[in-house]
Structure 1
């Protein structure tokens, strides 16, 4: 099958526009530096580049083909060198559909497939009709589950019923926009604030002026983050169809994605202080190869389950996906709290030293000793960091919790655990502490996004690591037995459904 005909002019306009803008920028800079280059010759070169881009896109469109078989999605592409890819459907984790405003008007969409263990999108169809993208999304999931699709034009309503799990309300969307900080908005601060404050004479900069600039920067960051979050989660809707979660979201860029329930590795509940005070929380799911923010849908795509809802509603959905017991967290030993206090006190002292150095050589900081006031807050910060850390070892799941400003609770089924790692830094060894990392297929190396029990007593950490490893082995054996029984039952049903010789006669 071919890409949609309207994908050709769209790719010409978008890719041609990017190439032309780059050539224009480089060309205008080179006209004054290269003697033989004038405007007439540059216009000819620009036209030649544009024709090459258009020819390339025509060849790409003509030589791109894809086919969905019972077991794989086969793609052939390439202009000069041909590339043939056969993507096994069993490895497909998520199937996402992306559409911006122009694509929605043109009736086309980008279909992306994410596979286990990948660091980027395994395959992307740019672009097919939106109806074709939805058909592929449904058919891939059906064929993964071994469901026969008998009639080619089978209506979607013949499949499993759609159950609406969550729809974001206007109040929840506004609250989410108000409490979210988007890293992408930080660039606007560095762009807008220097432009607005460029008229200020550096010689007249005082502590109050610097404080006003900080407040103005925070305001710009908050407003821009709210706008990005609002557009990102507008119209968020989560449904369950059989053994699959499906979501829709986005104002300018519309996303439609699917999350196979049997591929879920970890459930993650997030709360910041404002959300905790208001009784709200967010829930995300991690599939093999991707944790929230790591995959191609790094803007919060396929891994997002509930961006914001009341805590009881989040807990209810989490329990429907994984039947785990309510955790009773075991906190780190109290000496870990003293360690946190010392660490925050050292940070305050270093900040004071930096302020003193700036004032000593520039005279711009009037009150260089102001950061010393943070020493009074060090014990409070250490207490709250200690209070919001802990772990729980259940019969079927291990649960970890970390963070105050963004408290993260991760629920990991034992059968999803890949490795259990005990780590001790130089500073932890001085306090006889250790960190136990519960690594899953969604984790990529040790980082704060992994499920980990931080600053556990060193002896308790060794016991925790061995306990999780034992329960991992037990859970894997039980799951293999259950799958064997399920496979035998399905084979027996398939044999019983076959017609006998007398029926054939």
Structure 2
């Protein structure tokens, strides 16, 4: 593939739509608050659209790519010709996706990630090329890297391509969608959208009539609210099922390849050597059912695309199957450690932290809105229950070169980190912790353009210092 090639012409539309999306707010501001000359308000945006389209066509004509001498070579620029040559050995992953505009033409979008492309954007993006072309690029780069490393024979490479770690079943997909908590997101989006029309819709009159309607039909309103939540849940259900349909994880050489999606298909490549940590997350609904979600924290990615750094590798799986699925491929990790819990004397501190915010919040309605304000005391009870579970789930484990931290925010999280991947490990003792012989530990690994990790509060002070000693490489 030494001859320069152009992207598919549909890339002009894709790029133009992306630029117009960025201009949508200035357009709305100009139309609403601009000149009162109605004709000019319509002509000016139309001129901008035409300019963007012409710019897109010229950019397409001047954009070429090719594979040559062990490099992906890209040349672009309308007035100033720019060249970007990316050696195969620097390419960490090629992420493929099929958008709504690409799919009817059998095209894909290829995002090129390198070790130095974590500053907010990918190293290069081929907006629309044929699937066959993308597969050829993948195979060429894959073969060149393995030939350079001499780590795989051709037979082993082909064999490794057929290894499937995980494939989501229909039942698992439905369970994933129904326990995702996406209904709240849908309702928030609807509320945000409706609020934009405050000046057009007479909300005061609507709510006044609605108030009188409520007085005469409490049961009916309750039914309507339930139906509203049911519709939001159904929308979130369909959205999640469409997004994660066909979710499959394969191993090819030293890479994990994730494919998913019904309307927009996406393929994500994760080099094994870039995995910084493994996180097991259990939300409030899935935990009692024994299910969890597993993420890989990967070096690289970008601030604009967090999904390429925090990668969901097992969307929903029985927790007792995590080790069975991942251990053959992530051989350095131990997924069934014996967790050392926080000491029992730390429970009072966990409960106190919950009461410090819940009591003042509950006091306001109790004082000013009696007798119904007394219901706010339920918040204190809920806070105490949450604090207890925060205490119950706090813990740690040290297994040779692996540190495991377990903690709860809303979800219960267990994060597995290798010592060589930990970027920083800090300990903290407050005055009150020192009295109880307790301490806090915070470990961080590289992930995307920043870092991530785990923090466990009020562990045994002696244990925390042992962990710090382990990390500091001193004996």
TM-score by length of 1: 0.77
Shift of the alpha carbon at 1:405?
4.1
Q: In structure 2, how many angstroms separate the alpha carbons of the residues matched to 1:19 and 1:469?
A: 47
Q: In structure 1, how many angstroms separate the alpha carbons of the residues matched to 2:434 and 2:89?
A: 44
Give the CA RMSD over aligned residues: 3.9
1:64–1:78 contact (8 Å) kept in structure 2: yes
Q: In structure 1, how many angstroms separate the alpha carbons of the residues matched to 2:364 and 2:233?
A: 27
How many positions carry a matched residue from both structures? 453
Shift of the alpha carbon at 1:400?
1.2
SS at match of 2:147: coil
1:95–1:111 contact (8 Å) kept in structure 2: yes
Describe the shift of the 1:20–1:179 C-alpha distance in structure 2 as closer, same or farther (beyond 3 A). Answer: closer
Alignment counterpart, residue 226 of structure 1, candidates 226, 237, 241: 237
Q: Deviations over 1:301-327 (max 9, x none)?
A: 872211112223322122123333421
Q: In structure 1, how many angstroms separate the alpha carbons of the residues matched to 2:138 and 2:106?
A: 16
Match of 1:256 in 2: 267
SS at match of 1:322: coil
Match of 1:458 in 2: 461
Q: In structure 2, how many angstroms separate the alpha carbons of the residues matched to 1:300 and 1:244?
A: 14
Q: In structure 2, how many angstroms separate the alpha carbons of the residues matched to 1:114 and 1:407?
A: 31
Q: In structure 2, how many angstroms separate the alpha carbons of the residues matched to 1:296 and 1:137?
A: 24
Describe the shift of the 1:412–1:148 C-alpha distance in structure 2 as closer, same or farther (beyond 3 A). Answer: closer
Match of 2:316 in 1: 308
Q: In structure 2, how many angstroms separate the alpha carbons of the residues matched to 1:21 and 1:452?
A: 41
Q: In structure 1, how many angstroms separate the alpha carbons of the residues matched to 2:344 and 2:112?
A: 47
Match of 1:173 in 2: 173
Deviation larger for 98-107 or 62-71: 62-71
Q: Deviations over 1:240-295 (max 9, x none)?
A: 122211111012221012111122111111222332332222222121135xxx75
Q: In structure 1, how many angstroms separate the alpha carbons of the residues matched to 2:352 and 2:202?
A: 37
Mapping of residues 36-435 of structure 1, within 5 Å:
37-39=37-39, 41-42=40-41, 44-69=43-68, 72-116=71-115, 118-122=118-122, 123-147=124-148, 160-182=160-182, 184-185=185-186, 187-191=188-192, 199-201=206-208, 219=230, 222-290=233-301, 296-298=304-306, 303-323=311-331, 324-325=333-334, 326-356=336-366, 360=368, 367-403=372-408, 405-424=410-429, 432-435=437-440
Q: Does 1:468 align with 2:471?
A: yes
Q: In structure 1, how many angstroms separate the alpha carbons of the residues matched to 2:355 and 2:225?
A: 23
Q: Deviations over 1:92-127 (max 9, x none)?
A: 333211112221102222111233461433221212
**Any gaps of 5 or more consecutive residues in structure 1?**
474-505
Shift of the alpha carbon at 1:397?
1.3
Describe the shift of the 1:165–1:79 C-alpha distance in structure 2 as closer, same or farther (beyond 3 A). Answer: same
Deviation larger for 343-352 or 136-145: 136-145
Q: In structure 2, how many angstroms separate the alpha carbons of the residues matched to 1:224 and 1:452?
A: 35
1:23–1:46 contact (8 Å) kept in structure 2: no
Deviation larger for 215-224 or 231-240: 215-224
Q: In structure 1, how many angstroms separate the alpha carbons of the residues matched to 2:373 and 2:234?
A: 30
Q: In structure 2, how many angstroms separate the alpha carbons of the residues matched to 1:335 and 1:215?
A: 43
Describe the shift of the 1:142–1:214 C-alpha distance in structure 2 as closer, same or farther (beyond 3 A). Answer: farther
Match of 1:486 in 2: none
Describe the shift of the 1:374–1:105 C-alpha distance in structure 2 as closer, same or farther (beyond 3 A). Answer: same
Q: In structure 2, how many angstroms separate the alpha carbons of the residues matched to 1:453 and 1:2?
A: 53
Q: In structure 1, how many angstroms separate the alpha carbons of the residues matched to 2:461 and 2:114?
A: 37
SS at match of 1:3: coil
Q: In structure 2, how many angstroms separate the alpha carbons of the residues matched to 1:457 and 1:21?
A: 54
Q: In structure 1, how many angstroms separate the alpha carbons of the residues matched to 2:44 and 2:179?
A: 50
Q: Deviations over 1:442-473 (max 9, x none)?
A: 27667xx41334332334322211113329x9
2:177–2:240 contact (8 Å) kept in structure 1: yes
